[in-house]
Structure 1
């Protein structure tokens, strides 16, 4: 039974990795297409970066798999790319003597691209993306099973290292949770303009798969306590990410209703 749980846990872990590999891409592309990063809260990205750095250092100290360490470094790099985009486009806009909100307002004047896409189309897109991510995750899991080598016993970490890893794990969890708050607040100001919902959609799927992979491996009390910080950071963040998605669809429906009202007035 444990072997079956270990396989299922491993498969969910690979699905989570597949999500996190592509999670940043939609927002990076959104910033590039708008030539603006103003849809993102700077505090959101900075605190998320701090959480990823804590995660990276913890993975190195805990002597986790090289793939886990590489992914943690990749997350940090993507956070830095988002920060560079935000300040680069601000600097570029300053040189052009434009208002800070101009790119977002320009997008609104021409019609928000998201509002032009029907809800049915969005559902189909995200369903297809979900199937793709699960397919890639399962395929990667199958390949890893066929190529995995016998584990080499590693040295047991000292008590100091264990405590340091736990502190870093909880610090990372607090950062992941805290990072969403400034973004939620900013969304009330920007109405989610310039924000890619795919960023939070893939984050939700990735965090759910990661949390379930931990629980599927073992329900032993000591094991769950050891991994409590990673469970908290993943599972609780899902709730806040759903709030962000709720904001996006609320403001999207609001924009559609306003557009329909203006269209009716023009006809009249």
Structure 2
């Protein structure tokens, strides 16, 4: 694809960014926005991994609010539905799938570690190690010689999986979907030129409306997802079981996302209100509530 105009404010567009990412980047300010935007994406990609690993280490999800997990998953589901319906970039689709995989891993952990059979096993282990006084409140399993090996193996698998997924997402950017290619072909035929980068996907009015509604629903889920966790922390007067790195990385990602948007200063048009503003609101809400959780970790 190519960008139109080819030059803006004396700066030609960066061809490799247009080719691989379908974005038109010209000025140093726009280049900074592009880099910061992908820093935000990197933070989002790894944000949940510390919590997943901590759950595995503790063999427990005590302290996690299932309400927050479900609301966050609902946000990712509606986000992916909106991305698919409005025919966004393949990169966005694969990223949405990746986030859902992490969500379902956390839900699976919550169900597995709270299953009745787990409780019976824990009780049996506690009895075998010297009675009820030998248990602990956090549901930690008794250490064994295998634990360090298991932990190292799990950590390596997490790092490897993250690298492979990130590589797949990066590679997917180079290959547009069939529908995206068709839209580009239509634009090319109409303009008798090479397809335009960052061209809006062709869609019906109904698909556009539903996509916009899903974006706003997604923003509401993201905005309010942390509230059940904050309430649970307050009721227990504890943040035991939570990985603070989850919230630190999410704060970093949301801050970078906001900076990237401000650096590009998008026009306040219909596209902004339909597709950008809902996620800005969701990011702002998550940012504020994540700060609240970190404050709770200091106070408790």
Look at both structures and tell me which one has the larger radius of gyration over its CA atoms.
2
Which of 44, 55, 65 matches 1:41? 65
Aligned residues: 215
State the TM-score, normalizing by the size of structure 1: 0.72
Contact 2:88–2:201 (CA under 8 A) maintained in structure 1: no
Q: Is the 8 A contact 1:39 1:190 kept in 2?
A: no
Matches within 5 A, 1:7-22: 7-22=31-46
8 Å CA contact 1:39–1:195 kept in 2: the answer is yes
SS in 2 for 1:16: helix
Residue pair 1:200, 1:241 contacting (<8 A) in 2 also: yes
1:202 paired to 2:225:
no
1:249 aligned partner: 298
**Greater per-residue helix proportion:** 1
- Name the SS of the counterpart of 2:114 in structure 1: helix
Q: Distance in 1 between matches of 2:54 and 2:137?
A: 11
Going from structure 1 to structure 2, the CA distance change for 1:80 and 1:170 (only over 3 Å counts) comes to: same
Is residue 113 of structure 2 the alignment partner of residue 95 of structure 1? no
Q: What are the within-5 Å matches in structure 2 for residues 221-240 of structure 1?
A: 221-222=268-269, 223-226=271-274, 227-240=276-289
Shift in alpha-carbon separation, 1:216–1:186, aligned structure 2, 3 A: same
Question: Unpaired segments of 5 or more residues in structure 1?
Answer: 111-135, 252-268
Root mean square deviation of aligned Cα: 2.8
State how 1:125-136 maps to structure 2 within 5 Å: none
Query: Which of structure 1's runs of 4+ aligned residues deviate more than 6 A?
Result: 147-150
Change (3 A) 1:219 1:155: closer
Q: Secondary structure of 1:205's match?
A: helix
Return the structure number with greater relative CO, CA threshold 8 A, min gap 6.
Answer: 1
CA contact (8 A) 1:177 1:233 kept: yes
TM-score of the two chains, using structure 2 as the length reference: 0.65
